[in-house]
Structures are given as C-alpha cells and as structure tokens.
C-alpha cells in the first residue's frame, strides 16, 4: 500500500537566472533543494496563488539549474507574471518531475525525430542537451516551426546542435523568413515531413510538441505517411488560459 499512498510533494525553487529568449518568452533558471532529477521531456506543475500550471523542463538532467522556458499567452495572468514580473531571488512552488510517455533517454532508442512549433521546443531542448551531454550516437532529426527569426528561442544553441554529426536541424519560418533564407518557409505539410522524417521502415521514435492544432496536424500526417502511431509521443499545449 505504501506506493499507493505516496504523495508528490511541493518543493520551493529559488530563481537564480532569467534569460530573455524572445519578446514573448523567458527562461527561468531555478535551484530546487530536494529535486530528485528528471528525464528529458518531463514537466513540472507550478503553483502560484490561485493557479496551477504545467511547464516543460527545458534543461537537461546534467545541467546545473532546472530551467523552464515560459511563453506569454494572450490573457494569461500566470505566464505574463512569469515572463515579465518574476525577479531573481523570487521563490516558486513546484512539483515533479511528471510524465511517463513524453520522455526520451538513451534506453528509448532511435532514430529520433523531434518536431516542434513555437514554445514546444522546450522539452525537445532538454532531449537534445541530454543527447549531447551523453554523446549519444542516436541520429536525430529536428523539424522546428516558428513564425519568424524574432520568435526563435535559443538560436545559437540550435545552431550548435546542428554542428553535431548526429543532429540534423531543419527550421521552417511560417510568417517571415530571414534574408537569404533558403530553407522552408511554410507550415508543415506532407512533402516537408517526407523530406525531414526518417522513413517509417526505420521505426523512428518521434516526439511532437506544440499548440494542439500543430500537434494534431503533424501526428495525422505522420500516421498517413505510414508511421506507427505507438511510436509517436505527443504533448499538446491546449489553448492557453
């Protein structure tokens, strides 16, 4: 019975680092005494007065701080506070790590297919950082959709991932591409996924994260292209609030 009665306790994290990523988003670095560690892809519940929200962990297990990249959503009081008002030294109540399906580590295998839109990159950044930290030989393909260059978080880090022999990075700009951009400049579609994805016969382990409509579209396209639905791990943001 002991396992059944276990509670997931709340911990107090101290904000030690704040990094502006895009006009809408910020990465919050925390020191959390008692933090048990996490698997890349997992998330935390954050508790503020009168509100609870889930945020993906953007850091790797090997990193010094627990990092959350939070994007402001329209009318979102919690995300607005976290992105604009939180200060270094502030404390946040959180619990986790949570999530048993949307997580990757060396034992999950590959090849790895990572697909994200907007802030959905956060848990995939944790996977990519971990992949580099353990010098994994698993080949990775990333397809990342953003409106424009201004909305691209961690641009230098993403370019650094791309210098690895194991990691193939593909960006698509859906609103405005940078000057002299010769990559994709449209929303994801079947031809794009066919070019970027591993063939279904290679049984990729796939993670898709982003707004619900994006995730549903990507997952449906993958299944229509012959990918095994069981190999597709998805995380949907929903519609704000």
Partner 1 sequence: MTGWDGNAVAGLLYDLFGQEMTGVGATCAHCGRRSLLARTRVFRGPGTVLLCPACGGSMLVVCVRDGIACVDAPGFATLAVPLREPVSLRPVGDQSRPRTA
Name which of 101 and 189 has its Cβ closer to partner 1.
101
Name which of 6 and 87 has its Cβ closer to partner 1.
6
Name which of 72 and 130 has its Cβ closer to partner 1.
130
Decide: is 2 part of the binding site for partner 1 (CB under 8 A).
yes
Stretch that binds partner 1, among 154-162, 185-193, 196-204, 228-236 (CB under 8 A): 228-236
Nearest to 146 by CA among 184, 98, 104, 195: 184
Name which of 102 and 144 has its Cβ closer to partner 1.
102
Which DSSP string do the residues of 29-43 spell out, in sequence order? EEE-TT-----TT-E
Token pair recorded at residue 190? 């079947």
Find where tokens 């959390």 sit: 32
Decide: is 4 part of the binding site for partner 1 (CB under 8 A).
yes
Q: How many CA atoms lie within 13 A of 197 on its CB side?
A: 30
Q: Which of residues 186-225 bind partner 1 (CB under 8 A)?
A: 212
Nearest to 76 by CA among 237, 222, 226: 237
Q: Shortest gap between Cβ of 79 and partner 1 (angstroms)? A: 14
Size of the site for partner 1 (CB under 8 A): 36
Q: Shortest gap between Cβ of 53 and partner 1 (angstroms)? A: 9
| 10 in Cβ contact with 48 (< 8 Å) | no
| 90 in Cβ contact with 22 (< 8 Å) | no
Q: Which of residues 57-76 bind partner 1 (CB under 8 A)?
A: none
Q: Shortest gap between Cβ of 200 and partner 1 (angstroms)? A: 19
Nearest to 60 by CA among 32, 80, 41: 41
Q: Out of 3, 33, 34, 180, name the contact with partner 1 by CB under 8 A.
A: 3
Q: Out of 42, 69, 79, 166, name the contact with partner 1 by CB under 8 A.
A: 42
| 46 in Cβ contact with 117 (< 8 Å) | no
For residues 42 and 33, what is the distance between their CA atoms, to the nearest angstrom?
18
From first CA to last CA, the distance across the chain in angstroms is: 37
- What is the 8-class DSSP label of residue 82? I
Decide: is 238 part of the binding site for partner 1 (CB under 8 A).
yes
3-state DSSP call for residue 51? strand
Q: Out of 33, 34, 36, 49, name the contact with partner 1 by CB under 8 A.
A: 36
**Cα Rg for the chain, rounded, in angstroms?**
18
Q: Shortest gap between Cβ of 47 and partner 1 (angstroms)? A: 9
Q: Which of residues 74-133 bind partner 1 (CB under 8 A)?
A: 95-105, 107-108
Name which of 14 and 95 has its Cβ closer to partner 1.
95
For binding to partner 1 (CB under 8 A), which residues are involved?
2-8, 36, 39, 42-43, 45, 52, 54, 95-105, 107-108, 212, 233-239, 241
């Amino acid at each position: 019975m002991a396992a059944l009665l276990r509670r997931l306790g709340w911990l107090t994290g101290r904000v030690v680092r704040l990094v502006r990523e895009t006009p809408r988003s910020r990465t919050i670095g925390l020191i959390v005494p008692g933090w048990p560690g996490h698997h890349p892809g997992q998330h935390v519940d954050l508790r503020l007065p009168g509100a609870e929200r889930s945020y993906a962990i953007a850091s790797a297990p090997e990193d010094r701080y627990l990092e959350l990249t939070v994007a402001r959503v329209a009318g979102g009081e919690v995300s607005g506070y976290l992105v604009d008002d939180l200060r270094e030294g502030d404390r946040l109540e959180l619990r986790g790590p949570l999530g048993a399906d949307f997580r990757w580590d060396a034992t999950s295998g590959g090849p790895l297919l990572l697909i994200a839109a907007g802030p959905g990159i956060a848990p995939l950044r944790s996977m990519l950082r971990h992949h580099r930290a353990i010098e994994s030989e698993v080949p990775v393909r990333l397809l990342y959709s953003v409106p424009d260059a201004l909305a691209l978080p961690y641009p230098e880090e993403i370019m650094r991932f791309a210098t690895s022999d194991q990691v193939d990075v593909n960006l698509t700009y859906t609103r405005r591409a940078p000057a002299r951009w010769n990559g994709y400049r449209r929303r994801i579609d079947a031809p794009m996924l066919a070019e970027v994805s591993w063939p279904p016969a290679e049984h990729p382990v796939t993670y898709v994260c982003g707004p619900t409509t994006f995730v549903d579209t990507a997952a449906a396209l993958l299944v229509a292209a012959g990918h095994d639905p069981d190999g597709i791990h998805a995380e949907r943001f929903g519609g704000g609030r």
